Structure 1
Amino acid sequence: KDHPWSAALVDVINTFYGRPDIPIGAVRNGVTPSEGKFLGLAVEKKGKSWRYAHDLESGRQAPDATTLLRQTLASAPDHSTVLVQVGFSTNLARLLASKPDDISPLSGRDLIRKKVRFLSAMAGSFAPVPGRVRHREYNVVQDLDAARAVLTSWPTPLIASGYEIGIRVRFPHESIEKDFAYTADHPVAECYRRYCEPEHDRPCWDLTSVLVAVYPDRGYFTLSPPGRIHVAEDGYVFFEEDPKGNCRYLRMSAIQQARVREALVQLASQPPGTKAEGAR
């Protein structure tokens, strides 16, 4: 999100979980500059101090996201990096289009091909959505040109988590109220409450993409046959099976659905410095 407090809130959450030095990049001239419902949490104070500790006060202090992506990939071992995209495709489309520079003699496309193992992206829909004949997924239509560039021409394996996956995995509001209550002030729980209505079980669109990126071999999901993703002029996404294609999308049985929900609750609710023993 192209708002100065967006990067600051990321730093709030990283710092809360004991990882204050994770590099943070900020999009420039993004498609959604609005503040939203919870970004203000990053600038709230108790007395003269931040309510939640962090040192990045504004996205204007952060490096450009494309520059940071190029730096990160250039310094990584070959074929070692898994990228996760859970919002708009703006930054990765710009990475794809980036030219050789003093960071790397490789173009963005060649840098991705050399360094990235696979991309996990929350985008599109690959199964019928009840009540919608032609569902156009939000992340795609908000920056349509960027989404088309990434989804149709990404040079490494790409795993897409469609709308139909996240809508079936709902994070229980009871977990927010009970499992995050180990501290009076919890930035994740507070953001959830500010965004959602009381007792709302939020669909886990983004978290499913993260889960398959971190644990791709745990059987949480089944992958479709290989193929290619196409993006129509109106933003409708469809999949064409092709043995030579680099794309797959997630499928999920009822048993997998229950496992995914439990894993996400266990992983997301762990206090800083602990390990989710229940995630299998």
Structure 2
Amino acid sequence: MATGQAQPVKIILDTDMDGDCDDAGALAVLHALADNGEAEILAVGTCGRNPWSPLTIDAINTYYGRAGIPVGAAKGNAPLRPSRYTQAVAERCPHALHSAEQAHDAVELYRRLLSQAEDRSVTLVTIGYHTNVANLLRSGATGGAAPGLDLVARKVRQWVCMGGNFIGSPARDDLSLGNANFLIDPAATLYAISHWPGRILFAGREVGSVPSGLQAGRRLAETPPDNPVRIAYECYFGGEAKDRHVADPVTVLCAVRGLRDYWDLHDTGYMDLKPDMSFEWKAGGDGRQAYLLKKKLPGGQPNDRYVEGACEALMVQPPARRKP
């Protein structure tokens, strides 16, 4: 295997798959990593109630030859946000789900998969808001399985979370750069981060989102016209696939490949998160929280183009399992 890992990284991906097209790009990256033998996709869930989002996830899974991957959706009280692309993808691409109602309850799905998993074997990746994570932690013991908090503590190796702006030293976020993944369901974010019983690795916006300068997506125009990820980018930009920030693809890449020669790590201290979603990174803590740092080249410049290239190559990698 390319990473030298003995086993593929077992991934549950929780995504909003509505507002921004880079969620589709991130799912493409994850499928390419699975094709390479680097990842095993246990499930993909959406944390919102956009009715086309689960169908878009299912369409991308189907395109990559993995129609059997279970798709979850937030049920009950969850954010409902519009999308420029999900309806078009769902209407133009094959998928097994007929409606969002057919998707699994995301929390029930995650609980079932965790209860079946080996201890500390699953990586949870979130590239959206944290509604499902908070509800998972709040869930009680059902069907012979432990409460959600205990399941997470026992079964999850780490949570890789896209969100936050880690600016300055010590890092702080005054929200001047925005932070949608935290702000859309702030009560869920506060609960999830405050109650998470294990390791959290934050992929901040400065390593992949708008302030970072990293972009990818234009080369999706080289992929087949029926590629649902290409369609997502085309619809997002109004007709032509263009480059978009890589906040979510970077998060998936890190969750599977680790730091490698892509990033450095700040692994001391903890996030002191406020109810308004501003935070300061403070000294102390139990050593279970960390955030990514851009890695410098020998000349002192950030290795932005290198990380961009890794994300883009995976985004446009042809599916290995797609039926002709």
Please indicate the TM-score interval, normalised by the length of the shorter structure: 0.7 to 0.9
Structure 2: segments with no counterpart, 5+ residues:
1-47, 298-302
Aligned to 2:96: 55
Cα offset, 1:31, TM superposition: 4.0
Alpha-carbon distance, 1:133 to partner: 7.2
C-alpha distance in 2 between matches for 1:247 and 1:213? 14
Aligned partner of residue 70 in structure 2, secondary structure: coil
Q: Which amino acid aligns with 2:157?
A: R
Do residues 230 (structure 1) and 277 (structure 2) align?
A: no
Match of 1:260 in 2: 307
Name the CA shift for 1:251/1:39 in 2 (closer, same or farther; >3 Å): same
Residue 121 in structure 1 maps to residue 168 in structure 2? no
Q: How does 1:2-81 map to 2 (within 5 A)?
A: 2-44=49-91, 51-81=92-122
TM-score by length of 2: 0.75
Residues 81, 116 of structure 1: 8 Å contact kept: yes
Greater RCO, 1 or 2 (C-alpha within 8 Å, sep 6+):
2
**How far apart are the structure 2 equivalents of 1:24 and 1:208?**
22
State the alpha-carbon separation in 2 of the partners of residues 94 and 174 from structure 1. 36
Q: CA RMSD in A?
A: 2.1
Q: Tell me, yes or no, if structure 1 residue 97 matches structure 2 residue 144.
A: no
Which aligned pairs between 1:162-201 and structure 2 lie closer than 5 A? 162-167=204-209, 168=212, 170-178=214-222, 180=223, 183-196=224-237, 198=240, 200-201=242-243
**Structure 1 90/271 Cα, relative in aligned 2: closer, same or farther at 3 Å?**
same
* Greater Cα offset, 55-64 or 33-42: 33-42
Q: CA deviation at 1:111?
A: 0.5
Contact 1:136 1:237 in 2 (8 A): no
Residue 250 of structure 2 is aligned with which of 208, 222, 241?
208
Alignment CA distance shift 1:268-1:43 (3 Å):
closer
Name the one with the larger strand percent.
2
Moved over 6 A (4+): none
* CA distance in 2 between partners of 1:103 and 1:264 (Å): 40
Do the aligned residues in 1 keep the contact of 2:136 with 2:148 (CA within 8 Å)? yes
Q: What whole-Å deviation, never above 9, does each CA across 1:164-199 have from its counterpart, x for those lacking one?
A: 111325333431223x2xx23211011011113657
Unaligned runs of 5+ in 1: 45-50, 275-280
Q: Are 1:229 and 1:247, in contact at CA under 8 Å, matched by a contact in 2?
A: yes
After alignment, is 67-76 or 229-238 more displaced?
A: 229-238
Q: Deviations over 1:226-255 (max 9, x none)?
A: 221122232113221326231000001344
Q: TM-score if structure 1 supplies the norm length?
A: 0.87
Per-residue deviation, residues 105-128 of structure 1 (Å, max 9, x unmatched): x11111101000001000111115
Q: Residue 266 of structure 1 aligns to which amino acid in structure 2?
A: A
Deviations 1:1-36 (A, max 9, x none): 212221111000000000000011110135432341
Aligned-residue identity in percent? 31
In structure 2, give the amino acid aligned to 1:2.
R
CA distance in 2, matches of 1:164, 1:57: 38
Is 1:84 equivalent to 2:128 in the alignment? no
Aligned partner of 1:29: which letter?
G
CA distance in structure 2 between the partners assigned to 1:172 and 1:63 by the alignment: 31
